[in-house]
Amino acid sequence: MQTPPEGDFHVDAIGLKCPEPLMIVRNRVRSMSPGETVSIEATDPSTRRDFINFCRFMGHELVFDADDGERFHFLIKKG
């Protein structure tokens, strides 16, 4: 796995289960300016589906999406 990029902000969602990671990221993105990024580290496999759909419906860009077998790493750019 390539090294996850750093964002302007970071959300640690390790150990949290759906829907908590999505709700935390949604609140974080809401307070960001367009073009700013948030990196997320999570352990719940459903976060991949949640963040893909969140970006598609809200007009954000999922810049990075990878996992190392235990943790999921994302970078979302606010649209």
Other CB atoms closer than 10 Å to residue 25's CB: what's the count? 23
Q: Give yes or no: 55 in active site.
A: no
Catalytic annotation, pick one of 14, 16, 18, 62? 18
In angstroms, the CA 36 to CA 78 distance is 6
- Is the distance from CB of 70 to CB of 43 less than 8 angstroms? yes
- What tokens appear for 28 in the block? 């974080």
Which positions are catalytic? 18
